[in-house]
Structure 1
């Protein structure tokens, strides 16, 4: 019996466009909001107790990053969106976690959706939607729950490492997206290790009964990664070609680097897809070879006993006048003939390399 799956789209059936309805299944008890407001000289880093505290950052000369965890708090997200004048359809897409990686270009801001991938305690790949809003001097990010891949970005901002504190908000969006894309390589490495483990197990014959299901699960994980990566290439390409003051010309080179990384990851995904199909073929071939070995042994045994059964059948018939029936040494001679046939057939099979 198949287990019940969450129905993501049923929550939105019959609703008008722009309805802000969270479609996920990760309710966060507490809305977590953090803000980074920095210039080249100073950095403000603090956790906000409510959405209203984020309103004071807009309009300053600094660069502001506001990160929101907890998409189920739709009322607070609507407040933040209304303050930054976000379109209702953008707010709808932020809390609808089934979005394909995409970019929407608006007059005063860019809206970007992508998938953040990480592994859980069982080493399974988990996909989480992350949305970004890039405006003049600010970046808003929205996540389903706490825990992300942005710790290195936070440290770079706090300590002023690199060029982040001297660049504009478009560079901040770049390093956030770059952190997500760089983590794709960790996922790719995990997938590669799993495929190698399966190959080793199949070649050594040390496979369990569930390996067929395990390979199917791995194939679904690869498809999940592929769905997250392939549309993102178009997103980054459009950012690189975007003609507005939000993306500076000197920053576009960095986005081109993200595109190159995505191409590399995509090529690895294609290779792993082919390897998964090869694993399935290899597993089925191994099963067939084992069956053939069993059938070969049974066939050889049947071939050996066919003449022996024939002789035993002849001399087991109830006739009085069978030759050698009353001969004194007929029984040991018959055994000798049967043993000779048995050994002769074994020798023949060895010569033919059937054994």
Structure 2
């Protein structure tokens, strides 16, 4: 499946709001996990029935519902109905190729963006769509599969550490987005270590394998950039929002999030420029090496031009060539050819051509 653009053949001609999953199914069945908490109480469990979520809508505690697996329209529809999520938002959630964005409604805020990870060989970026719906006292997150970067946030909730247990779902949304951007920087840092190592290799050994690796990293950085740039726009928009669902008390934290988003975007652009510089350096190194080879071949051919002339001159079959009868003519000719070759080398060296 294409990484930059997902095929939407199944949604072609369908009415807006149709719950048609677009992407690759990564789990057998969806899993719903609810974390309900305040300063004193905590409930963390896997649920089977969406109907048990009804008390969360009126409770004074903060509720975090996480849905792993987006391919079941019935489950997505029931979650959407329980929290009054519009059909158009649900349609965007089940489309894993959707561009990261943020939409505001009177009763909810919708954010979708990409979470990034790196494979074991550290040469390919893997993305997963994360969608967040902030509404009332609830935050609903949708992921393609279990496993994410949010375990430190869950640990803070479980251990009552910091202000997370005292704040509402808007601060929880900030904490999750903060982890997403921290992970962006971690992935970029891992890629950047290898990119910076190209500096010496490009000059020392500009091999075809190195060129292939540089192009691979250029492609992966373009993939990261496609996720990071719109995520940066989301952070800026969230910091400027006047929606009542986002308390003014967390505005400083959202500003800090925008700083991290700016840092992430700058890091991506820096390494993209470095890769372009590496590619230019590679082409220059290959060109210089080719010039050295051509220079050697040119000098070699230039020296042999007069030698070939002498060999051709005395290779002619004329009867009246007095030098042919000379007893030491062969050695004199070889000596003359050697003198010509040495003389030309000395001349080239004096002119600093070699």
TM-score grouping bracket, smaller chain normalisation: over 0.9
5+ residue gaps, structure 2: none
Once the two structures are TM-superposed, the CA of residue 211 in structure 1 deviates from its matched residue by 3.0
Equivalent-residue separation in structure 2 for 1:208 and 1:129 (angstroms): 37
Alignment deviations for residues 35-73 of structure 1 (CA, whole Å, 9 cap, x no partner): 111110121111223434434433111001011111112
Cα distance in 2 for residues equivalent to 1:190 and 1:249: 36
Alignment match, 1:13: 12
Whole-Å Cα distance in 2 between the matches of residues 55 and 32 of structure 1?
18
For residues 26 and 292 of structure 1, what CA distance do their matches in structure 2 show? 53
Q: Which ranges of 4 or more aligned residues in structure 1 deviate by more than 6 Å? A: 3-6
CA distance in 2, matches of 1:7, 1:253: 36
CA contact (8 A) 2:70 2:94 kept: yes
User: Which range moved further: 316-325 or 345-354?
Assistant: 345-354
Q: C-alpha distance in 2, partners of 1:181/1:90?
A: 23
Segment of structure 1 superposing worse, 340-349 or 141-150: 340-349
After TM superposition, the structure 1 stretch with the greater mean CA deviation from structure 2, 248-257 or 229-238, is 229-238
Q: Distance in 2 between matches of 1:156 and 1:129?
A: 24
User: Structure 2 CA distance, aligned partners of 1:348 and 1:48?
Assistant: 89
Q: In structure 1, the residue corresponding to 2:121 is in which secondary structure?
A: coil
Summarize the alignment of residues 155-304 of structure 1 with structure 2, pairs less than 5 Å apart: 155-205=155-205, 207-304=206-303
In structure 1, C-alpha distance between the alignment counterparts of 2:288 and 2:50, rounded to whole Å:
64
Rounded to whole Å, the distance in 2 between the matches of 1:50 and 1:351 is 90
Structure 1: which 5+ residue stretches go unaligned?
A: none
**C-alpha distance in structure 1 between counterparts of 2:194 and 2:51, whole Å:** 46
Q: What SS does the corresponding residue of 2:84 show, helix, strand or coil?
A: coil
Change (3 A) 1:136 1:9: same
Deviation at 1:30, TM superposition (A): 2.7
- State the TM-score, normalizing by the size of structure 1: 0.94
Q: Which moved more, 1:331-340 or 1:237-246?
A: 237-246
1:154 matched to which residue of 2? 154
Quote the offset at 1:309 in angstroms.
0.5
Structure 2: distance between partners of 1:95 and 1:59: 27
2:76 match: 77
User: Which deviates further from its counterpart, 73-82 or 234-243?
Assistant: 234-243
Q: Aligned pair 1:59/2:96, yes or no?
A: no
**2:319 aligns to what SS in structure 1?**
coil
Are the equivalent residues in 1 in contact too, given 2:61–2:137 (CA < 8 A)?
Answer: yes
User: Residues of 2 paired with 1:311 and 1:18: CA distance?
Assistant: 89
Q: CA deviation at 1:79?
A: 0.6
Distance 1:117 1:213 in 2: 23
Counterpart contact for 2:20–2:94, Cα < 8 Å: yes
TM-score by length of 2: 0.94
Q: How many residues align?
A: 352
1:34 aligns with 2:36: no
Aligned to 2:337: 338
Change (3 A) 1:322 1:4: farther
Residues 323, 55 of structure 1: CA spacing in aligned structure 2 closer, same or farther, 3 A cutoff?
Answer: farther
For structure 1, which segment, 47-56 or 192-201, has the greater mean C-alpha deviation from structure 2 after superposition? 47-56
Moved more, 261-270 or 84-93: 261-270
2:133 — aligned with what? 133
